[in-house]
Amino acid sequence: MIVMKFGGSSLESAGAIEQAASIVKEHLDQKPVLVVSAMAKTTDQLLEAARSAARGDSYSARQHTEALRRMHCNETRGVLGQRAEPFLRDSIAPMFRDLQVLLVELREGRPFTPQIQDEVLSYGERLSSLIVAESFRHLGIRAAQVDARKVIVTDGQFTHATPLHWDTYSRLRRTVALLARDRVVVMGGFIGATLDGVTTTLGRGGSDLTASLVGAGISADEIQIWTDVDGMLSCDPRVLAGGRLLREISYQEAQEMARFGAKVLHPASVAPALCQRIPIVIRNSRRPEVQGTRVVSKVQSAPGIVKCLTSKAGMAVVHLRVKNRGMLSSITGGLADLFAREHIAVDLIQAQEQGISFALENWPGLSQVLRKVDESVDIAVEEDRAAIWLVGEGIAHAASTLARARGALQGADVRLASQGSSSLSLGFVIREADLQAAMEALHREFFAAPASLNGRPRTSSIRTEVGQALSLRGALSPAVALKSNQ
């Protein structure tokens, strides 16, 4: 058996669904189980509809749901033709009616809780899995839709629930694995339910995690992630075009890349596959002739080689200064608690004599939240920052890599640098305005110039001085944070 996950853009239209069907037909002998995302941008639009309804704007809520209804019906008609009407009437229309009821309740004052948000967002994958299964049957594939909420069991952390592995695996084995013997199972990604059956979601982009869970649960031979790019590239195509396709990367490299900004895979999706050493293959549904990227246990390349550059924009750097060094451990302890409570992920940390600096994704309430740590701490927040990571097995221990990276970033206003505690990454925080130039300079250093430069002119040199910094990333614990002071 294999798992084939199709992302939203790989199912965005009748043509895309037909293309997915023809790809699946090529793999029928491997007994595929399909995990599907919501079609195109459905999840964003559902969220907008719910937010509009919650603030009393029923006109806007209606517009979003109407657009969604039209899109789902039109694309279904595009595949099913004449046969669409009874299916739309009996299976799709009732779902839009139920969604409408929820939105009316929100407009009338029902609190817009994370639980309701998950309920609303779940319609995306529930609709797409029904439509894909019906379309596949029409196209000659024996397909059965399974409601993912019946098999993916999670805790009750709405909007970012954690799967309960053993319950999920046992349900997958009892249902999906059996059905998959003689038909193509189609289930929605991203959604699940608590043991009591309350709908949850795994967090944005969570369909990859569903695919990996399903793969582990049915002991699949392979997990294929079908998306709209050729695979993992040596640089983020949204920042710099022309990166190289990576043929093979390790699970750890994939995890690190996903964690540090590569959008192709959800960061949590590697672990279930890794536990059972199931290869993950990333492929382009628009160019199925391309082999894509394989994520496997052992890669052929020597350690210390930079595999890829990842980045995150919209970051902030926070500097906390304490009056005396003794306060530092209580501050870092307080921060660790605060971050765990508020689900804040810190990406780079650097400890100094007088305090601690770290980088994280910026958001409007950041400064206020930080005030909760300790009133006496002096806090400075630098906004409009971006982080770049060099990722590859063992690169944090390759002194020459750090030297070459610093050389390439010569003149960049490097605010923070971090040698990854995992040994797989080196990170630098720079000004957001310098992101493309820095990426280009690093790519030139480690991979030679990319083929095209996103249509933008070659950059001027990046400014100011390289900050001196060697620090640690990872869990913010006093031990880790203080280490570089010793």
Residues lying near Mg ion in the complex (CB under 5 A) are found at: 205
Using the contact rule CB under 6 A, the part of the chain among 35-43, 68-76, 146-154, 340-348 near ligand ASP is 35-43
- Please tell me whether residue 292 binds ligand ASP under the rule CB under 6 A: no
Least distance from Mg ion to the Cβ atom of residue 36, Å? 12
Instruction: Name which of 241, 161, 240 is nearest 196 in CA terms.
Output: 161
Whichever of 39 and 348 has its CB closer to ligand ASP, that residue is 39
Measured distance CA(447)–CA(234) in Å, rounded? 8
CB closer to ligand ASP out of 208 and 256: 208
Count residues near ligand ASP (CB under 6 A): 12
Distance CA 350, CA 358 (A): 6
Q: Tell me how far CA of residue 353 lies from CA of 15, 182, 375, 485, in angstroms.
A: 60, 65, 20, 6
Least distance in angstroms from the C-beta of 44 to ligand ASP: 7
Choice between 192 and 231, CB closer to ligand ASP: 192
What tokens does 216 get?
Answer: 């582990």
Indicate which of Mg ion, ligand ASP, none lies near residue 279 (CB less than 5 to 8 Å, by partner kind). Answer: none
Nearer to Mg ion, 215 or 450 (CB): 215
Q: DSSP per residue over 120-173, as a string?
A: HHHHHHHHHHHHHHHHHHHTT--EEEE-GGGT-BB-S-TTSPPB-HHHHHHHHH
Residues 205, 267: Cα–Cα separation, whole Å: 9
Partner that binds at residue 311, options Mg ion, ligand ASP, none, CB closer than 5 to 8 Å by kind: none
- Rounded to the nearest whole angstrom, what is the least distance from the CB of residue 7 to Mg ion in the complex? 5
Long-range contacts of residues 119-123, Cβ cutoff 8 Å, at least 24 apart:
119/199, 120/46, 120/47, 120/49, 120/50, 121/43, 121/46, 121/47, 121/50, 121/190, 121/191, 121/201, 122/149, 122/188, 122/190, 122/191, 122/199, 122/201, 123/46, 123/95, 123/99
Look-up: residue for tokens 């002739």? 289
Report the partner that residue 124 touches, choosing among Mg ion, ligand ASP, none (CB closer than 5 to 8 A by kind): ligand ASP
Q: Per-residue x/- marks for ligand ASP, 374-413, CB under 6 A?
A: ----------------------------------------
Measured in whole angstroms, the distance separating CA 304 from the mean position of its chain's CA atoms is: 26
Q: Which of Mg ion, ligand ASP, none interacts with 51 (beta carbon under 5 to 8 A by kind)? A: none
> Which of 430, 428, 433, 427 is CA-nearest to residue 459?
433
Is residue 163 close enough to count as binding ligand ASP by CB under 6 A?
A: no
CB nearer to Mg ion: pick between 9 and 332: 9
Give the shortest CB-41-to-ligand ASP separation in angstroms.
Answer: 8
CB closer to ligand ASP, 205 vs 355: 205
Residue matched to tokens 């809780």:
113
Closer CB to ligand ASP, 268 or 351, in the complex: 268
> Residues 105, 49: contact at Cβ < 8 Å?
no
When CB distances are held under 5 to 8 angstroms depending on the partner's kind, the choice from ligand ASP, Mg ion, none that residue 450 binds is none
Site for ligand ASP in 182-221 (CB under 6 A): 189-190, 204-207
CA distance 258 to 34: 22
- Asked if residue 8 binds ligand ASP (CB under 6 A), the reply is yes
Contacts with ligand ASP by CB under 6 A lie at 7-8, 37-38, 43, 124, 189-190, 204-207
